[in-house]
Structure 1
Amino acid sequence: MKKIGFDSEKYLQEQSAYILERVQQYDKLYLEFGGKLIGDKHAKRVLPGFDEDAKIKLLHTLKEKAEIIICVYAGDIERNKVREDYGITYDQDVLRLIDEYRAYGISVNSVLITRYQGQPTVKVFMTKLERSGISVCIHREIEGYPANVEAVLGEEGFATNPYIKTTKPIVVVTAPGPGSGKLATCLNQMYHENKLGNEAGYAKFETFPVWNLPLKHPVNIAYEAATVDLKDVNMIDNYHYEAYGKVAVNYNRDIETFPVIKRIIERITGKASVYSSPTDMGVNRLKSGITDDSVVQEAAKQEIIRRSFVVENDYKKGLADEDSVRHMQVILEETGLKKEDRAPVLPARNYAKAIQAQIDSTNLQAVIAIELPNGEMITGRTTTLMDASAAAILNGLKKLTNISDEIDLLSPMILQTIQRLKTDDLNSRVPTLSANEVLIALAISAVTNPTSELAYKQLPHLKDTQAHSTVILNRENEQTFKKLGIDITNDPVYPTENLYYN
């Protein structure tokens, strides 16, 4: 059974109380939400027991007092940036987030396109939102932001970007991912609120790094591993130490920009800032939910290893640079971790080597290993009938149901018929069946085949299992694993030399 190290209920109670305490200081509080408001899978992985939707549930308790502005950087839409956890582009994620927020009864004020430069694809997205009844605003890039305070607060700065009319005391500013302009949006709104004679404040709800955990705590290192593409580095908040004589952890960007941000806020409000450090700006009470630090540390170490695979794969795909790869290698060295410390890695690689030797081939063998909830390891390999993803999932279901390997869950005739459909009628050049195709066949067979039905009912038990592939998965299989809740990594090697089908 999976060990638990975090109490979400306790965390939510303390977190909501602290946010309300901060709100009471202003007419309106602009609350920058870092990380994922919904589906925070990184937090779920490093804090076993954390509810991945904890933050949206927190806002649900405050829904009468809160509304949301969703920021998205125009450049991310233009280059089709993908959210890794869900495998969807940022523009699609904005649509998903709006649906999710509405389902929780939380008001979505508008979508703000930041640093807009008239990109054609962005215009199409804006039109789609507007025709769906969503209010859309745009902010242009301010030259010199944030360092040139005079420019930011001058006639060509915040004054040129429109004010987004808000009506509730808490305005949550969130985004599909980092670098979307959340802080600039909060400051821009504060600027206009002040012009309107309203007293508005700013606070930051950043889940990681955790300010009151040690700098080298695995949870904080896991955050650094997750943001190597942003060049984030955890640091001791020297401003906090100088003000209070207490050690607090923050990250480089917040610490570097703090003097400027503090000055901007003071110029906007005409008052001395209530914040003596970037840590002061935060409202994070995450540590209060940790109930077993040893469990959390081990989970965070596994996340660091997982992120190392992600970075290497992104580099292979041209999505990450050499600096990110080197930074990740330094993190592994610093924590004394190896990729092989992830349980399914060696079983997958060893089985692939055994097959390779058995058939006397120099070609890489595609194998996936899955660690089941009881710690047992099962494997699956690519054959002429199905790929390694499909085979591993079926083998896992067999093991969970105690069905013998010799028994077929699916009739080979059925699978061959689906293959012919793929190749002869749908003109696919890849005859092997994917995990999604095999699972659909299993669902259909479960209606008439009691053995298939038993295996099919075990699908929920694959959630939160760990898996590793010796080759890079195609997008379809990758998404199937994610939808099943299986955390899978893979070696940065393409299964074939075929550029398109890889």
Structure 2
Amino acid sequence: MKKIGFDSEKYLQEQSAYILERVQHYDKLYLEFGGKLVGDKHAKRVLPGFDEDAKIKLLETLKEKAEIIICVYAGDIERSKIRGDYGITYDQDVLRLIDEYRAYGISVNSVLITRYQEQPNVKVFMTKLERSGIKVYTHQAIEGYPTNVEAIVGENGFAKNPYIETTKPIVVASAPGPGSGKLATCLNQMYHEYEHGRKTGYAKFETFPVWNLPLKHPVNTAYEAATVDLKDFNMIDNYHYEAYGEVAVNYNRDMETFPVIKRIIEKITGKESVYQSPTDMGVNRLKTGIIDDQVVQEAAKQEIIRRSFAVENDYKKGLADEETLRRMQVILEENDLKKEDRAPVLPARNYAKEVQERIQSTNLQAVIAIELPNDTIITGRTTTLMDASAAAILNGLKSLANIADEIDLLAPMILQTIQKLKTDDLHSKVPTLSANELLIALAISAVTNPTAQLAYQQLPNLKDTQAHSTVILNRENEQTLKQLGIDITNDPVYPTENLYYN
């Protein structure tokens, strides 16, 4: 049974109260929201009990006082940058976020395209938004930002970028991912607000690192592992210690930019900043929700291992460099962790080796092992009928429903008909059933087959299970497993020598 280490309700109450307290000092507060407002699966994994939608629910409690500006970097749209957890491009994610915010009754003010240079794909996206009734603004890059304070706070700086008209006391700057220009947007708005004579403040809501946990706490280290490609690392906030004699944790980019951000705010407001440290700027009250530190530490260590597999795979695919790979290996060693400490890893590898020896094959065997909620580990391998993802899901559902392994849930005739459709009519060169195809076949069979229905009803119990594959999964299977809530890792090995079908 999964242990709980975090109380989301307690956290939401504390966090909401603290943000409202900060708002009281200003006519308007610009709140930079880091991380994911919706579906924060990293936080959910490292803080068992954390509601992955906690931040959007937090805003829901403030919806009468808050509105959102969604920032997205023009370059990310132009090159179709992919958001890894959902497998969609940043422009698609902006549309998804708008729908999510509206579903919670939170006002979306506009979409801001940052560092805009009239890129063709960006123009198409802007037109689509405008024709859907969404207000769109563009900001150009400011030469010398963020270090040339005199130029930034002047006619050739913030003044040349338009002011976004807002009406509520809390304005949240959110984005599909990092590097979208949220900070610059907040500062740009502050400049215009002060030009209009309004007292305005800035605050930052970053979930990680957690400022009042130890520097080397696994939760903070897991953040380093999650952002290793960005070259982020945690450090003691020396500004905070000098000002208050209190140890606080922050990360390198905030530490590096704090002096210049402080000067920009002072230049805009015409008075000394109330912030003496980057930690001062934050409003994070995450630690208040931790109710079992040992559970949280263990979960964070597992996340570090999971991230190490992700980096190895990115390196294999050419998406990560050697420096990132080495840094990830150092993080593992510093925390005395091995990839084999992840429960489904060895069962998957051992079964793959067993199959390989049994059939006397020289080819690597594709196997997936899933650790079920009752700590049972089941496996599935690729056969002529279905791939390892489909087999593992089917075997997992059978185990959860206490259905004997030898019982067929799906009639062979149905599976063969689907295979014939794939190869003969759709001209696919991959005849094996994928996870998605297997689930559709199971859903149809459940209508008339009571045993299949028993297995089908167990699908929710696959959520939050841990799985490992001996080969790199294709995007379709990876997304299907993620949609089921299965946390999957894999060894950095392609299943075949085919370049396209891998």
Structure-2 residue corresponding to 1:271 = 271
Answer yes or no: is 1:375 the counterpart of 2:368. Answer: no
Listed as ranges, the matches of 1:451-490 within 5 Å are: 451-490=451-490
Listed as ranges, the matches of 1:157-306 within 5 Å are: 157-306=157-306
Listed as ranges, the matches of 1:418-437 within 5 Å are: 418-437=418-437
Q: Deviations over 1:348-377 (max 9, x none)?
A: 011111111111111111000000001100
Equivalent-residue separation in structure 2 for 1:205 and 1:65 (angstroms):
17
The Cα shift of 1:190 comes to 0.3
Structure-2 residue corresponding to 1:386 = 386
Equivalent-residue separation in structure 1 for 2:366 and 2:205 (angstroms):
42
Q: Deviations over 1:108-148 (max 9, x none)?
A: 00001111112111111111111111111111111111011
Structure-2 residue corresponding to 1:401 = 401
Q: Deviations over 1:374-416 (max 9, x none)?
A: 1100000000000000000000001111111111111111101
Q: Deviations over 1:446-482 (max 9, x none)?
A: 0101110110000000000000001111111011101
TM-score of the superposition, structure 1-length normalised?
0.99
Secondary structure in structure 2 of the residue aligned to 1:432: coil
Equivalent AA in structure 1 for residue 174 of structure 2: T
Equivalent AA in structure 1 for residue 443 of structure 2: A
Secondary structure in structure 2 of the residue aligned to 1:492: coil
Secondary structure in structure 2 of the residue aligned to 1:67: strand
Listed as ranges, the matches of 1:6-405 within 5 Å are: 6-405=6-405
Aligned structure 1 segments of 4 or more residues deviating by more than 6 angstroms: none
Secondary structure in structure 1 of the residue aligned to 2:108: strand
- Count how many residue pairs are aligned between Structure 1 and Structure 2: 502
Secondary structure in structure 2 of the residue aligned to 1:369: strand
Secondary structure in structure 1 of the residue aligned to 2:370: strand
Equivalent AA in structure 1 for residue 149 of structure 2: V
Equivalent-residue separation in structure 2 for 1:444 and 1:298 (angstroms):
40
Equivalent AA in structure 1 for residue 96 of structure 2: R
Equivalent-residue separation in structure 2 for 1:243 and 1:491 (angstroms):
47
Q: CA RMSD in A?
A: 0.7
Structure-2 residue corresponding to 1:444 = 444
Q: Deviations over 1:277-330 (max 9, x none)?
A: 000000000000000000000000000000011111111112111111111011
Equivalent-residue separation in structure 1 for 2:257 and 2:179 (angstroms):
14
Equivalent-residue separation in structure 2 for 1:75 and 1:335 (angstroms):
36
Which one is further off, 184-193 or 74-83?
Answer: 74-83
Secondary structure in structure 2 of the residue aligned to 1:165: coil
Equivalent AA in structure 1 for residue 489 of structure 2: T
Equivalent-residue separation in structure 1 for 2:76 and 2:319 (angstroms):
13
Equivalent AA in structure 1 for residue 284 of structure 2: N
The Cα shift of 1:498 comes to 1.1
The Cα shift of 1:433 comes to 0.5
Secondary structure in structure 1 of the residue aligned to 2:305: helix
Which one is further off, 400-409 or 23-32?
Answer: 400-409
Q: Deviations over 1:180-206 (max 9, x none)?
A: 110000000001111111111000000
Secondary structure in structure 1 of the residue aligned to 2:99: helix
Secondary structure in structure 2 of the residue aligned to 1:137: strand
Secondary structure in structure 2 of the residue aligned to 1:374: coil
Equivalent-residue separation in structure 1 for 2:311 and 2:484 (angstroms):
23
TM-score of the superposition, structure 2-length normalised?
0.99
Secondary structure in structure 2 of the residue aligned to 1:444: helix
Equivalent-residue separation in structure 2 for 1:412 and 1:75 (angstroms):
49
The Cα shift of 1:154 comes to 2.6
The Cα shift of 1:16 comes to 0.4
Equivalent-residue separation in structure 2 for 1:326 and 1:112 (angstroms):
36
Equivalent AA in structure 1 for residue 178 of structure 2: P
Structure-2 residue corresponding to 1:494 = 494
The Cα shift of 1:228 comes to 0.8
Q: Deviations over 1:153-178 (max 9, x none)?
A: 13221111111010000000000111
Equivalent AA in structure 2 for residue 11 of structure 1: Y
Which one is further off, 115-124 or 179-188?
Answer: 115-124
Secondary structure in structure 1 of the residue aligned to 2:312: helix
Equivalent-residue separation in structure 1 for 2:490 and 2:81 (angstroms):
21
Equivalent-residue separation in structure 1 for 2:476 and 2:383 (angstroms):
18
Equivalent-residue separation in structure 2 for 1:476 and 1:185 (angstroms):
36
Secondary structure in structure 1 of the residue aligned to 2:361: coil
Equivalent-residue separation in structure 2 for 1:282 and 1:206 (angstroms):
7
Which one is further off, 111-120 or 368-377?
Answer: 111-120
Equivalent-residue separation in structure 2 for 1:163 and 1:45 (angstroms):
39
Equivalent-residue separation in structure 1 for 2:160 and 2:496 (angstroms):
52
Q: List runs of 5+ in structure 2 lacking aligned partners.
A: none
Secondary structure in structure 2 of the residue aligned to 1:187: helix
Secondary structure in structure 1 of the residue aligned to 2:69: strand
Equivalent AA in structure 2 for residue 190 of structure 1: M
Secondary structure in structure 2 of the residue aligned to 1:142: coil
Q: Deviations over 1:409-460 (max 9, x none)?
A: 1111110110000000011111000000011000000010111011000000
Equivalent AA in structure 2 for residue 112 of structure 1: L
Secondary structure in structure 2 of the residue aligned to 1:405: coil
